[in-house]
Structure 1
Amino acid sequence: MSNFVKAASLREVKPGTGLQVHVQGKDIAIFNVDGTIYATDDRCSHADAPLSDGEIEGCEVECPLHGARFDLRTGENLTPPAWEPVQTYEVKLDGDEIYIAT
């Protein structure tokens, strides 16, 4: 059973942006895609760059270092040089607060 931890508030993550948060010792990226919130590990599986600094297009984020792309819904790696997916996290909203499953 998942335990949800408060990670951020909606006002901290404007549409089309990412935000790095620290939850239980992990760096997690929270993304706002037209009001839908997604959460993934905040490290590219290729070169450890912060995905929260990447460019968002639709439900994909591009790593700011080498351009690998990941699906924010599934964590699937879509383009090289990343060959491994990133972990995704279940998200719940309670009013203006964002909670992430740990």
Structure 2
Amino acid sequence: MADWVEVGTTEDLPPGSYTSVDVDDVQIAVFNCDGTYYAIEDVCTHDYGQLTGGEMEGCQVACPRHGAKFDITSGEALTPPAYEPVDTFPIRVEDGRIYVADDRWD
């Protein structure tokens, strides 16, 4: 089973913000979308650049390089030039601390 990695506290990540964390050499972006936390792989499926640094609007993030938009809640690619979704990851919040795990290989 995948190990849970602490991302930070709920105080560190208010609504409308995000951060990126390394989990076993995978960059994972963790977003607070209207008080709910989501985690997606921090990579644009168009050119493999990082999504963090892009603008977050509602529950979408735009790639800072070419503007492809992704749904933070599902990883779905919403606009070209990206057509493939990004991976999503489980999140848990305990005692004000946010955790993420890479469970793709479980």
Both proteins in one fold, TM over 0.5 = yes
> How far apart, CA to CA, are the structure 2 residues paired with 1:79 and 1:3?
33
Aligned-partner residue type, residue 18 of structure 1: Y
Aligned-partner residue type, residue 89 of structure 2: Y
Equivalent position of 2:61 in the other structure: 61
Decide whether the 8 Å contact of 2:23 with 2:101 is kept in 1. no
> How far apart, CA to CA, are the structure 1 residues paired with 2:96 and 2:24?
21
Higher helix share: 1
Alignment of 1:18-97 (within 5 A): 18-97=18-97
> How far apart, CA to CA, are the structure 2 residues paired with 1:5 and 1:65?
28
Q: Is residue 2:13 matched to residue 1:13?
A: yes
Deviation at 1:49, TM superposition (A): 2.2
Deviation at 1:87, TM superposition (A): 0.4
Q: What 5-or-longer segments of structure 2 have no aligned partner?
A: none
Higher strand share: 1
Identical columns (%): 45
Please report the TM-score for the alignment, with normalisation by the length of structure 1. 0.89
**Structure 1 SS opposite 2:81:** coil
Deviation at 1:42, TM superposition (A): 0.6
Q: What 5-or-longer segments of structure 1 have no aligned partner?
A: none
Instruction: Give the superposed CA RMSD.
Output: 1.5
> How far apart, CA to CA, are the structure 2 residues paired with 1:22 and 1:12?
17
> How far apart, CA to CA, are the structure 1 residues paired with 2:12 and 2:24?
19
**Structure 1 SS opposite 2:52:** helix
Deviates more, 1:30-39 or 1:4-13: 4-13
> How far apart, CA to CA, are the structure 1 residues paired with 2:47 and 2:27?
15
Count of aligned positions: 102
Decide whether the 8 Å contact of 1:18 with 1:53 is kept in 2. no
